Homo-oligomer: A and B are copies of this chain.
Amino acid sequence: MKLLGAVEAGGTKFVCGIGHEDGTILERVSFPTTTPEETMGQVLDYFRDKPVEAIGIGSFGPIDPIPGSPTYGHITTTPKPHWSHYNIVGTMQAAKGCKVGFDTDVNGAALGELRWGAARGLDNCLYITVGTGIGAGAALGGGLIHGLSHPEMGHILLRRHPDDTYEGICPYHGDCLEGLASGPAIVKRWGVSNGADLPPEHPAWEMEAYYLAQALMNYILILSPQKIIMGGGVMKQSQLFPLIADKLQTQLNGYIQHPSLREHIGGYIVPPGLGDNAGLAGALALAEAALRG
């Protein structure tokens, strides 16, 4: 079986690993995200003696994932210091000389969940992470969504919960989805140091579910995914899953007549089948896709 490399490039840490084409992850290590020189130096050191046939990079964004574009393979306009306009794919290719797959972390995770995780055997799925930020990727029609660039689904506009007076935390849009429902928004709105300190019956979770259900409704109406996988730190609050399912059904109001949205909704909105490996396995899936060409 072919050996593949995987890099989950996050804003806090880079997780690296090696694995096989069947999604097996053999080992994982992680390095703090500091400067490209330091962090990528550690990444390249890690891969130096690994005979991988391809490496997949699932990255924080925004990135340029469009082959043929002059800035293909770059992290583009991130506000993160030192990383703006960094050519991560070029650096990796120069060092390893192998094929490199490259996409957003969430596009990768969607592909990994479709290949080996909660959506295995289906044709398409949506993967959402709700944590420090909110992002989503969709695997459909055998590929990932690219157009002008990659999706930025975490920033869609929503209607406000009637009891919510919090202005929102997004520096671009204020009260977009990420502005209202990311981990930092929960912390700021409720004045706690950690959202996980709020008990499961706290109204914070009903409000959180209201926003996430509304986002899912719009994603479903636009993408029609066969399964929705929700990961990230906030979704560790497992009480959110039934709350979201209930609110989604109320909002859809029977408009889409499909058993997945009616009798079987508990199996439609699920945590990652790959658990905390969803991100790294996603990068592995990008490597595997690059290898197949």
Chain A interface residues (CB < 8 Å from chain B): 62, 76-77, 123-124, 138, 140-143, 145-160, 172-173, 214, 217-226, 251-258, 260-261
Contact status A258-B151, CB under 8 Å = no
Contact (Cβ within 8 A) B223 A157: no
User: Could you tell me the dominant secondary structure of chain A's interface residues?
Assistant: loop
Give A9 Cβ to nearest chain B Cβ, in Å: 20
User: Contact partner of A151 among B124, B142, B153, B223, CB < 8 A?
Assistant: B223
User: CB < 8 Å: which of B142, B172, B253 contacts A173?
Assistant: B253
Chain B residues with CB below 8 A from A145, complex form: 140-141, 222-224
Name the residue on B nearest A254 (C-beta): B172
Closest to A76 in B: B257
Who on chain B is nearest to A152 by CB?
A: B221
**Closest residue of B by beta carbon distance from A123:** B147
Contacts of A221 on B, CB cut-off 8 Å?
Answer: 151-156
Knowing A123-B147, A148-B258, say if A253 contacts B156 (CB, 8 Å).
Answer: no
Residue of B nearest to A173 (CB): B253
- Chain B nearest Cβ from A56, distance in angstroms: 19
The 5 A-B residue pairs with the shortest CB-CB distance in the complex, in nearest-first order = A147-B224, A172-B255, A156-B218, A159-B159, A141-B143
Beta-carbon contact of B256 and A226 below 8 Å:
no
